[in-house]
Amino acid sequence: MNRSENSKLLHARASRVIPGGVNSPVRAFKSVGGEPLYLVRGKGSRVWDADGNEYIDYVGSWGPLILGHAFPTVVRAVEEINRDGASFGACTPIEAELAEAVIDAFPSIEKIRFVSSGTEATMSAIRLARAYTNRKYIIKFEGCYHGHADSLLVKAGSGVATLGIPGSAGVLEEQAQFTLALPFNHQQAVEEAFATFDGQIACVIVEPVVGNMGCVPPRKGYLEFLRSITSKDGAVLIFDEVMTGFRVAFGGVQELHKITPDLTTLGKIIGGGLPVGAYGGRAEIMDMVAPLGPVYQAGTLSGNPLAMAAGLATVRELKNRPDIYQQLERRTSALVGEVLVAAKRKGVPLTANRVGSMFTWFFQPDKVHDWDTAAKSDTKAFAKFHSAMLERGVYLPPSQYEAMFMSAAHTDGDLQETIEMASQALGS
């Protein structure tokens, strides 16, 4: 049994002054039981908690840390730029440098605007899509998460286009009524929505490989279908690649599937662990953003030098070492496959989805391809597995419906250890 006194004390203290003791809900371990760990250090594939326990980390700050914790060139870049002042709220040279580096990886992006979170990126992209098309409705998919802007916090409506109902207290029906939530991977639902709301749909926003209901890849032809129906209709196609950008491939899902969305939202990896988001796309659309155009969007800390430096160091490393993606593919494939074999041996029903270094083990026998199938998972079995792994020194995201991430810092030794621990945990 790991020691946990210090984490418990820290959590009691935080809980008195921060709602639930956390600044983002899933950190609270609510869906897996137990209390959150307080992490105090990370290096490479490993993290350490306040009680001195060491873990192999498959959260990676929820995706940004593709190079692992405290990667030397990222640390150095932030330290160096910080010495000259952390923020000016004025133009600095590094903003265009990161913009060029991102555009180099994403040919669909001609111009890009940096913000401070993925939430801001998607919220702004939708405002822009509505302005560009002069239309009201947006289509999103059940189980896709695009941050917590009001119009995007809409629960699953099933089947055909149902009018949105709020997915959070405090979101007015009026704010959600133009959001159509459709099942992911179902072409017909999208066709019906476009027929019903003919000429009124501003955009389709999609996680082209979903990470936020666990990892769920698109069916063959699905993304091509979304591209073609939006093009025909004149709606804007937004790929939310906040999680997948620079993760599943250097150029994200759009590189893997050779699809050109109109707008792309990014975050996570492009901040290298610091708070960054971005939205970009065709110049013709992006030039509608203020000060060139009438769409207002701003941020005191947007393009912050420290955040840009961490992102640039990360993207440069990925660019200089394209072998990283092959190595991630090989290692993650081996890990996911070996754990499935172990589950079979122990008689535990388990299925897995994986794209590159993004993956989820779903505790159920059937394939997962949308929210309804994901929701059939045995979350109690996941919770048990999660805590058995934690006790054995493996840190997994504390929810069945979050993707896990491998980093370039994970070694074959880490994998062997993880497979051994998973095998024990599945047997317990």
Which residues participate in catalysis according to the annotation? 145, 240, 268
Determine the Cα–Cα distance for residues 271 and 181; give it in Å rounded to an integer: 29
As measured in angstroms, the least distance from the Cβ of 119 to ligand PLP is 3
Give the residue, chosen from 137, 141, 145, 361, that forms a contact with ligand PLP under the rule CB under 6 A.
145
Provide the minimum distance between the beta carbon of 104 and ligand PLP in the complex, in angstroms, as a whole number.
22
Q: Measured at CB, which residue is nearest to ligand PLP?
A: 118
Is residue 171 part of the contact set for ligand PLP (CB under 6 A)? no
Report 232-261 residues binding ligand PLP (CB under 6 A).
240, 242-243
Question: Using the rule CB under 6 A, is 359 a contact of ligand PLP?
Answer: no
Q: Is 267 in the site for ligand PLP (CB under 6 A)?
A: yes
Q: Figure out which of the listed residues 11, 130, 140, 146 binds ligand PLP, where binding follows CB under 6 A.
A: 146
> Is residue 212 involved in binding ligand PLP (CB under 6 A)?
yes
Residues between 272 and 331 that touch ligand PLP (CB under 6 A): 277
Q: Does 370 bind ligand PLP (CB under 6 A)?
A: no
Indicate the residue among 242 and 342 with the shorter CB distance to ligand PLP. Answer: 242
Cβ closest to ligand PLP, residue 24 vs residue 134: 24
Binding segment for ligand PLP among 117-125, 249-257, 284-292, 362-370 (CB under 6 A)?
117-125
Residue 164 beta carbon to ligand PLP: minimum distance, rounded to whole angstroms = 18
* Shorter beta-carbon distance to ligand PLP: residue 277 or 281: 277
281: β partners: 111, 263
- Cβ distance to ligand PLP smaller for residue 147 or 397: 147
Smallest separation (angstroms) from ligand PLP to the CB of 243: 4
From the list 114-122, 369-377, 405-413, 414-422, the region that binds ligand PLP by CB under 6 A is: 114-122
Query: Judged by CB under 6 A, how many residues of this single chain contact ligand PLP?
Result: 15
Rounded distance between C-alpha atoms, residue 1 and residue 54, angstroms: 13
Minimum CB distance to ligand PLP, residue 217 (Å): 14
Q: In the complex, what is the shortest distance from the CB of residue 44 to ligand PLP, in angstroms, rounded to a whole number? A: 23
| Residues engaged in binding ligand PLP (CB under 6 A) | 117-119, 122, 145-147, 207, 211-212, 240, 242-243, 267, 277
